[in-house]
C-alpha cells in the first residue's frame, strides 16, 4: 500500500520576489519569488506558491505540441493581496496581431492588458495562449501543467530576454472572462476549475471531521489552513501532498484545502 507523500518545497530567488514570507516560510535574506513543490516522480502537474513585490513580465505559454510535448495551462488561487493589487489576463478590448507587436515595441502592451483587482479566495483560470501578468503585493497558489515554457512579450525594461516573435502567433487576442465562479458540490466541496489538464476543488473539513479521498491520477492536496492527518501522516498549513490511493483525511483543527488531480 502506497503512503501519501509530502512534496518538498524548493524556494527560487526572483528579481520581483520578496523577503517577507511569513506565515508560510521564515523571512528570507534574498527576494524569493516562487516555491516549487517537488517529488522524485515526474508528475503531470506542478504546484507553486508565488510571492510578488513587483509586477511579473507580460507573458504567454504554448499549448501541447507547440514547443515540446507539454504546454502550460495554469490557474491561480489568491492567498493574500495588498490593497489595490492587480493581475492581468487578456486585453481590455480585442486587438490585431500587428497592434500587439507594435505595443510590445513601445511598452504600450502594459496599458492594453485587462488589469483587475484581486482578493484572497478568488480563482483565475489561465489557459495556454492567454497573455497575462501578475502584479505586485500578491501571494498566490499556482497549479499548472508541469512545464516551464514561457514567452515574454514585455518586462518593464528589465535586462531579460524577450520572445516576441515566438509569442505573437500564439496569443489569444480577445477579452478574458475574469474570475472563475465556484460551483457548490456539497459536503464542504466547491469546484473551482475543470479543464482537460486538471480539476481543482476547494475542500473544507471541520475540526474533528474526516474526508475520504478517492484515488485519482496525480492527486494533490494543498493545505491552506488547519492541521490534522493525511493517511495517518501529520499535515499543516503550507504543505502539498501527493495522495496515491484512497486516503482518509482527519482534521484536528478546522482545515481548508485545494484538491487537484489530472482527469482520466
| CA nearest to 221, candidates 188, 244, 194 | 244
Helix, strand, coil percentages, rounded to 5, for the chain: 10, 50, 45
Q: What is the 3 state secondary structure string of 54-102?
A: CCCCEEECCCCCCCCCCCCCEEEEEEEECCCCEEEEEECCCCCHHHHHH
How far apart, in whole angstroms, are the C-alpha atoms of residue 136 and residue 153? 18
- Which of 152, 160, 189, 202 is catalytic? The answer is 152
165 DSSP assignment: H
> If DSSP codes are grouped into helix, strand and coil, which group holds residue 230?
strand
Contact of 227 with 204, CB cutoff 8 Å: no
Let me know if 181 is a catalytic residue: no
What are the residue numbers of the active site?
A: 152
Amino acid at each position: 500500500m502506497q503512503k501519501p507523500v509530502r512534496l518538498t518545497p524548493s524556494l527560487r530567488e526572483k528579481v520581483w520576489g520578496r523577503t517577507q514570507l511569513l506565515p508560510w516560510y521564515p523571512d528570507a535574506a534574498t527576494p524569493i519569488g516562487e516555491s516549487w513543490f517537488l517529488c522524485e516522480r515526474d508528475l503531470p502537474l506542478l504546484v507553486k506558491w508565488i510571492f510578488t513585490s513587483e509586477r511579473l513580465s507580460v507573458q504567454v505559454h504554448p499549448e501541447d505540441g507547440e514547443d515540446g510535448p507539454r504546454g502550460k495551462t495554469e490557474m491561480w488561487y489568491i492567498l493574500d493581496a495588498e490593497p489595490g493589487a492587480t493581475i492581468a489576463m487578456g486585453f481590455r478590448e480585442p486587438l490585431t496581431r500587428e497592434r500587439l507587436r507594435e505595443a510590445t515595441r513601445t511598452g504600450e502592451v502594459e496599458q492594453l492588458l485587462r488589469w483587475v483587482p484581486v482578493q484572497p479566495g478568488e480563482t483565475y483560470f489561465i489557459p495556454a495562449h492567454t497573455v497575462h501578468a501578475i502584479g505586485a503585493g500578491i501571494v498566490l497558489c499556482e497549479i499548472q501543467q508541469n512545464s516551464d515554457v514561457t514567452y515574454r512579450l514585455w518586462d518593464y525594461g528589465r535586462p531579460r530576454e524577450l520572445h516576441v516573435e515566438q509569442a505573437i502567433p500564439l496569443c489569444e487576442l480577445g477579452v478574458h472572462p475574469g474570475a472563475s465562479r465556484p460551483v457548490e458540490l456539497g459536503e464542504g466541496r466547491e469546484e473551482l476549475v475543470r479543464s482537460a489538464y486538471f480539476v481543482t476543488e476547494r475542500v473544507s473539513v471541520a475540526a474533528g471531521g474526516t474526508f475520504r479521498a478517492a484515488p485519482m491520477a496525480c492527486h494533490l492536496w494543498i493545505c491552506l489552513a488547519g492541521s490534522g492527518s493525511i493517511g495517518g501522516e501529520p499535515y499543516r498549513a503550507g504543505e502539498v501532498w501527493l495522495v496515491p490511493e484512497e486516503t482518509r483525511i482527519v482534521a484536528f483543527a478546522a482545515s481548508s484545502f485545494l484538491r487537484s488531480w489530472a482527469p482520466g
